[in-house]
Homo-oligomer: A and B are copies of this chain.
């Protein structure tokens, strides 16, 4: 059914973690109000066209670049690799895949050195780098700690039409799958994939793509996330709260989705689990389990399934969006009551039997 991306004959680059995203915003002042005044990200550097932002516990130059431009989109999903040589490895790897690549010794953004950007087989602009400018890690700067403080970049989330194809490509690249959503027909709706020892560095959400679904920042505790909601209420921008707060089924994290002035989606996220063991189990959720995306069974709003940000090619033009051909998660779960369940048939009182849903070992 699927034309899988071929597996290169040479080793994949050794990726450490998702490190930063470069996004294009149409009104830099409004975006600054959102990311700095509302969310409290820390400005490492800024000029009239760019703002370089980092989370409290970051020690590299930035986790997010806001670049002023005519069309809201994502310019790069950037990963840090283990050594300078791994940038070479990345370049070679994507060349063998037949992808367009661009190498810049001086980096694509301030504060980042030698980097390669690629148009990957799924159409996403990926970047790989090692060299960075180190900055003050603000971990113990509690004099700067806001009530809704964002402490780490946690992950990316990408929309792609063919999840198994994307998953195979990312597994070849060295990612491991922590969780996924499937149905009994074998359709995969989404997959969570990690390099660092958390549930994910990126996830694939089935849908029209390539598009960016969201970028996620972590807080220390749940009340920090609640404060962000409360503050958005106080600022009378509660209509920018799209979904949540809630507890994810997948990942077990406490979460919130909000929308920046251009509609780029930001997740605030806390307390998933350790995945660093080699035999960390992959948990498979049934798409009809209505606790998979919200453990409390709260509904997913349709916009969360349908809206996402464009991504750019290496010339800065939006990548065309290709439609998903397989069943959509929204279609099979929203609206028609019969599709969702919280209780297995024959289990009317909700008693648990054996392990929870999913192949959790």
Contact = CB atoms under 8 A, between A and B. Distances in A.
Interface of A: 16-17, 57, 59-60, 80, 82-83, 130, 134-137, 139-147, 149, 151-152, 196-197, 220-223, 226-227, 229-239, 241, 245, 247, 249, 252, 254, 271, 273-274, 276-281, 290-291, 295-298, 342-344, 347, 350-352, 355-356, 360-361
Given A82-B278, A136-B355, A298 B233 contact: no
Contacts of A16: 276-278
A297 B239 contact: yes
A175 B352 CA distance: 42
Nearest to A56: B273
B137 A361 contact: yes
B277 A227 contact: no
Contact of A197 (B144, B197, B342, B343): B197
A305 B291 CA distance: 24
Contact of A281 (B59, B231, B238): B59
A137 B57 CA distance: 29
21 contacts: A16-B277, A57-B274, A59-B281, A130-B278, A135-B361, A137-B361, A142-B234, A144-B234, A145-B147, A145-B231, A221-B221, A221-B223, A222-B223, A226-B247, A230-B296, A233-B247, A233-B249, A234-B356, A236-B343, A237-B350, A239-B297
Given A247-B230, A254-B226, A276 B241 contact: no
A245 B226 CA distance: 10
Max chain B C-beta neighbours (<10 A), residue from A17, A146, A230, A351: A230
Given A233-B297, A296-B232, A290 B223 contact: no
B274 A152 contact: yes
A355 to B, nearest CB: 5
A278 B132 CA distance: 12
Given A146-B146, A277-B17, A295 B137 contact: no
Max chain B C-beta neighbours (<10 A), residue from A82, A144, A277, A351: A277
Contacts of A273: 57, 139, 151
A140 B223 contact: no
Nearest to A357: B236
A33 B211 CA distance: 46
A146 B147 contact: yes
A197 B140 contact: no
A139 B252 contact: yes
B295 A229 contact: yes
A286 to B, nearest CB: 13
B229 A281 contact: no
Contacts of A234: 140-145, 352, 356
B229 A356 contact: no
Max chain B C-beta neighbours (<10 A), residue from A252, A296, A352: A296
Contact of A233 (B142, B226, B245): B142
A151 to B, nearest CB: 8
B241 A298 contact: yes
A147 B228 CA distance: 12
Contact of A222 (B143, B221, B297): B221
A8 to B, nearest CB: 23
Given A233-B249, A237-B350, 17 more contacts: A17-B277, A83-B278, A136-B355, A139-B273, A140-B234, A140-B356, A145-B227, A147-B149, A196-B197, A196-B276, A220-B221, A221-B223, A226-B254, A235-B352, A236-B350, A236-B352, A239-B343
